[in-house]
Structure 1
């Protein structure tokens, strides 16, 4: 027998407007391989707390809007998955982000790589997904035969896979991830298999136990990736591939990103900074590589599209081992442009961060939020960027709720941050 229950705790007093649909969650409490299945839609009101006791599903043709300051609290026993067949709009603010998390008692060093809930999994029917000022943390659980995603044929649809924080799979869909933080995940932060995409002004850190990329893109994507900070992901900051045989061909434009210490915790050919493969078309400008393992690297057996370009990228290594690994002519490093800054000696081209110890251990996944990766006023990296290229979504991507998201303008500085204002 099925019973309906409300598992969302709504802070009604914070409703700032009238006429909104109340955020009910319809749950089938009949056990199904140890998990509850629930359908959610409507509006989760500003400042409310929602305890997710089992897998939840946004049905096809419906939407869930999550307002600023909402906490989505995952049950660490159920390890819920969030399945989106309709649309999701997570709309936090700088002062009041939306947070997908676990209870305080579980946010410990022992659980630094999460695995305490699943991830956000957007089926091919998901037309629009927006994460704005949203924090995703402590997820990335491993699937089993009982997992909803496996039963529904989502993501890789097999038991034993570590779920990404975010999976999106509609080549005709719209995906916006901006001003957000993804941290404390077991493997990939994102695994994107299609869509018109903007990833901008995000931060990724403490992710990947034995594998995992910060941003993993496959065929079907037309993506602008800009002003993202990636710190010590296990494998690559960007894995860019045209695998999957979807249309359109993957074409990724990544510019003004800062990568720190990436790739050192996976000492294989793929562990690095940017990995290109399988005829992906990729244009890479104004990116700052500091103490990363390798630079822009290709799969020599499955090359990138020969129209790909990269220039005005900046490379820094505190020690000679690091500097040697990003030299063109070794390690399948992709040749850059005439305006790259790539020294040959340890310590060449210090970007002069405001507050970061460049001697910091390259293998440590631990992130200090007091670090500041803005550039000092005398940084030579302030004038080495270019704005002479075209991005996909300069005109913007407009969602059904009437909001237009535009990929940001490139800057004449290198990296994700210029000087502090």
Structure 2
């Protein structure tokens, strides 16, 4: 009898606990995923220099005191919110022979910067006095045989200076470094959702890699020359949804120069390129995007505003205004559905650059039929003045027509907003009938977070929110 009573009480108590827990289900505790860490934590008490592996900890400040080496088989991870500070007077580099992972987040980006450098971002500022264009440290360099360089939600600022003694085999002593560079066709280069600010020359120049460059912002790339990204032989991949403003020469440039295999093959799509090409001091150079010297690929859905030239495809071995350029693999280059807004008659006459092989597409904006001659041949001279100031892309906040004295004066995003308004003529005018090359794995830590496909909207800020997140 006593056992029965005890059992009944136990059942009642159990039921009470069960119902009480059910009534508080909305108060579940959410446990955050721990930060990814490899090996030992790296101390902040000693400047970074020499061989290093392990983890640079979240929200900590590290000072670089010499060239840093991630050796073959080793991994260096940088956690969200870390600041890696360079002194600004030495071209120190991160030399990657193994794996380098800079894994910032939208809430906590990582910084590679020079804290003593003051940004000079006023419109029309003198570029000869701009620290962004002086190259105050070296770069993150993937040496021959490197495995991967994965950079996400990271600010790369003031890099790409002149080396003394080069720490890598593929850049000579005394030559200009690049903020990011690689030298192995089998290595992975991922740059996602990050910011590139300034460089003496090209901030990114890969001499071989499998490449995924998506949803980044590029400002002030190159002093009197330099692309946002200058791609050489042995590179295959995608360059998409990037915002590029004020590059010295082009946004992306593809070349097969260098003799490596495979042949350079780059898809450039859904990029927004603003006021680029104006610091390039050589005639016949500068512009928006470029294919030359045996490279191939696709270029669709790019939005260009007041760039010195429209998309350039080199179609003959010849001199263009005194500059020797070598023919691209024109049989394997396709493009169209590109948008070009201009505020001056001289650049309206270069929407399809004179002397180049860029083919008009009926779906380009402005429509080629509205300003090209009836029997237009790629490369011929034409009068494009009728499209000056037409087809405003209707950014949320950017002055069009531009009223500054020189179109190249604007080289930073600042308070501008290049998202499209709901009535923009760029919405719904893109082409989606191709796929990204997708040469890197999809992996939150060791690959691409997402390989974003082409959008039916033109530019890097499609209305579905799937593009650039800056």
Q: TM-score range by the shorter chain?
A: 0.7 to 0.9
- Greater alpha carbon shift after TM alignment, 373-382 vs 333-342: 333-342
How far apart, in 2, do the equivalents of 1:98 and 1:191 lie?
21
Return the TM-score normalized by structure 1.
Answer: 0.87
Give the Cα separation in 1 of the matches to 2:204 and 2:58.
Answer: 26
* 1:113 maps onto 2:118 in alignment: no
Note the C-alpha offset of 1:49: 1.0
Distance of aligned partners of 1:294 and 1:247 in 2 relative to their CA distance in 1, 3 Å threshold: same
SS class of match (1:415):
coil
Query: 1:296-336, CA deviations, whole angstroms, 9 ceiling, x for partnerless residues?
Result: 113331222112100101111012122112236x2425113
1:193 is matched with which residue? 207
In structure 2, what is the Cα distance between the partners aligned to 1:378 and 1:49?
45
Alignment partner, residue 29 of structure 2: none
Of 60, 80, 91, which residue of structure 1 is paired with 2:72?
A: 60
Q: Does 1:284 align with 2:299?
A: yes
Coordinate RMSD, CA, aligned: 2.5
- C-alpha contact (below 8 Å) 1:25/1:39 kept by paired residues: no
Give SS of 1:382's match. coil
Question: 2:35 and 2:359 mapped to 1: Cα distance?
Answer: 55
Following superposition, the deviation at residue 178 of structure 1 comes to 0.6
Q: Is the 8 A contact 1:92 1:133 kept in 2?
A: yes
Counterpart-to-counterpart distance in 2, 1:24 and 1:364:
42
Measured in 2, the distance between the counterparts of 1:112 and 1:74 equals 14
Distance apart, 1:368 and its partner CA = 3.8
Task: Indicate how the Cα distance of structure 1 residues 297 and 353 shifts in structure 2: closer, same or farther if over 3 A, else same.
Answer: same
CA distance, structure 1, for counterparts of residue 222 and residue 95 of structure 2: 22
Contact kept? 2:352, 2:358, Cα under 8 Å: no
Q: How does 1:23-62 map to 2 (within 5 A)?
A: 23-24=41-42, 38-62=50-74
Q: Return the TM-score normalized by structure 2.
A: 0.78
Q: Structure 1 pair 58/18, CA: closer, same or farther in 2 (3 Å)?
A: closer
Q: Report which stretch shifted further, 188-197 or 337-346.
A: 337-346
In the alignment, the residues of structure 1 paired with residue 36 and residue 340 of structure 2 have an alpha-carbon distance, to the nearest angstrom, of 53
Larger strand proportion, structure 1 or 2? 1
Map of 1:266-281 to 2, 5 A cutoff? 266-267=280-281, 268-281=283-296
CA distance in 2, matches of 1:106, 1:65: 26
- Aligned residue among 94, 97, 109 for 1:97: 109
SS at the partner of 2:349? helix
Contact persistence 2:206–2:235 (CA under 8 A): yes
With over 3 angstroms needed to count, the CA separation of the structure-2 counterparts of 1:43 and 1:337, relative to structure 1, is same
From the CA coordinates, give the structure whose radius of gyration is larger.
2
CA–CA distance in structure 2, aligned partners of residues 129 and 70 of structure 1: 17
* Matching residue of 2:427: 382
**Partners of 1:139 and 1:261 in 2: CA distance:** 22
Aligned 8 A contact 1:25 1:41 in 2: no
**Which segments of 5 or more consecutive residues in structure 2 lack a partner in the other structure?**
1-32, 121-129, 318-325, 372-383, 466-470
* 1:137 pairs with one of 157, 176, 181: 157
**Structure 1: 5+ residue stretches without partners:** 1-14, 30-35
Matched, 1:313 2:331: no
Aligned mates of 2:45, 2:145 — CA distance in 1 = 21
User: Contact 1:278 / 1:303 at 8 angstroms: preserved in 2?
Assistant: yes
Shift of 1:205: 0.6
**Cα distance in structure 2, aligned partners of 1:384 and 1:113:** 36
